[in-house]
A and B are shown apart, each in its own frame.
Chain A
Amino acid sequence: MINCAEAVRQLWQYLDETLKPEAREKVGEHLAFCRDCCGEVEFARILQDFLRSSAVAEDLPADVRARLHSFVTGLER
């Protein structure tokens, strides 16, 4: 059975499903009885959602838009 430090080290990969089956099983076994690490995994999920939510489309500042547009049209000339 792996300890908390080993489990925590692999939690994001566990959520990402990038662990090898054997390692995934060991983390799953640990989570089945460790309440602290269940809190860790929930928090890791929150952090992932938090990062994902930062991907909302950003406004292209007007001055940047103008310069990029000028750059693009300049290429075609």
Chain B
Amino acid sequence: MTNSHPQTTTGRTGFAEAVTPCLPRLYGTARRLVGDGAEDLVQETLLRAFRSFHQLKEPAATAGWLARILLNTFRDRLRSERRAPAEVALDDVDDFSLYRHIAEEDPYPYSDRLHLDFIGVFGRDDVRAVLLRLPPIYRAPLVLRYVEGYSTKEIARLLSLPLGTVLAQLHRGRKLFERSLWEYAESEGLLEKEAVR
């Protein structure tokens, strides 16, 4: 079998050429997972990738290969954070419904598309800011499932967690996300009438 990458004594020639086109996507995923620590996470990912570059046989698979290394690196960091206590109140979040909360609070009294107007005031940076308010153990499955598009089984494998744990974290993550959307909108003044155009 031939290796698709030009080989030197270290087998790592062509690394920069292979990974450079993947950096924007990799950095974007890292930003959604860890926010300001993204560059550090990407650097650690690249270091790990460089060490195992000789194992990558198919250049077309570079992006997926790098994404898996990024998630492995992130998972290793997450393990230590799981031991830390949650920084947000979780007691009453499971039954929170943003849909009903918006209807009850009626933030835009003259709107005939209340829920869509609520969502419409959030920009891309706002979504990222809301996600970053969530504890990492709930943020990660949510980002991987709904932003990055992995299946729940893939997430369980990537994060080395039982499927049931991933499903439970997803449930709580979704509810925290809903509640955080409301809290963020309140704190950023997005519920004022002028916010809806």
Interface residues of A (CB under 8 A from B): 5, 8-9, 12-13, 16, 18, 36, 39-40, 43-44, 46-48, 50-52, 54-60, 64-65, 67-69, 71-73, 75-76
Query: B176 interface residue, CB < 8 Å from A?
Result: no
Residue of B nearest to A37 (CB): B99
Contacts of A18 in B (CB 8 A): 152, 167
Query: B190 interface residue, CB < 8 Å from A?
Result: no
Instruction: Give the shortest distance, in Å, between B123 (CB) and chain A (any CB).
Output: 9
Beyond A58-B28, A75-B50, A76-B12, whether A50 also contacts B122 by CB under 8 A is yes
Interface residues of B (CB under 8 A from A): 12-13, 15-16, 19-20, 23-25, 27-28, 31-32, 39, 42-43, 46-47, 50, 94-95, 97-100, 115-116, 119, 122, 124, 127-128, 131, 142, 145-149, 152, 167, 170-171, 174, 177-178
Contacts of B177 in A (CB 8 A): 47, 51
B contacts with A: majority SS: helix
The listed residue (B24, B39, B99, B147) touching A51 by CB distance below 8 A is B147
The listed residue (A9, A43, A55, A60) touching B98 by CB distance below 8 A is A43
**CB atoms of B46 and A68 under 8 A apart:** yes
Most buried by A among B50, B94, B97: B97
Residue of B nearest to A12 (CB): B174
**CB atoms of B124 and A56 under 8 A apart:** yes
Instruction: Give the shortest distance, in Å, between A23 (CB) and chain B (any CB).
Output: 12
The listed residue (B15, B94, B148) touching A72 by CB distance below 8 A is B15
Contacts A46-B119, A54-B127 given; 19 further ones with Cβ under 8 A? Answer: A16-B152, A39-B99, A39-B115, A40-B99, A47-B178, A50-B119, A51-B142, A54-B32, A55-B32, A55-B149, A58-B31, A60-B27, A65-B23, A67-B39, A69-B20, A72-B50, A75-B12, A75-B46, A76-B15
The listed residue (B39, B99, B171, B178) touching A68 by CB distance below 8 A is B39
Give the CA-CA distance A9 to B95 in the complex, in Å.
7
Contacts of A64 in B (CB 8 A): 27, 39
Give the CA-CA distance A44 to B12 in the complex, in Å.
46
Give the CA-CA distance A69 to B15 in the complex, in Å.
11
Give the CA-CA distance A69 to B46 in the complex, in Å.
11
Give the CA-CA distance A72 to B167 in the complex, in Å.
37
**CB atoms of A8 and B127 under 8 A apart:** no
Residue of B nearest to A19 (CB): B167
Contacts of A40 in B (CB 8 A): 97, 99-100
Give the CA-CA distance A73 to B15 in the complex, in Å.
8
Contacts of B97 in A (CB 8 A): 8, 40
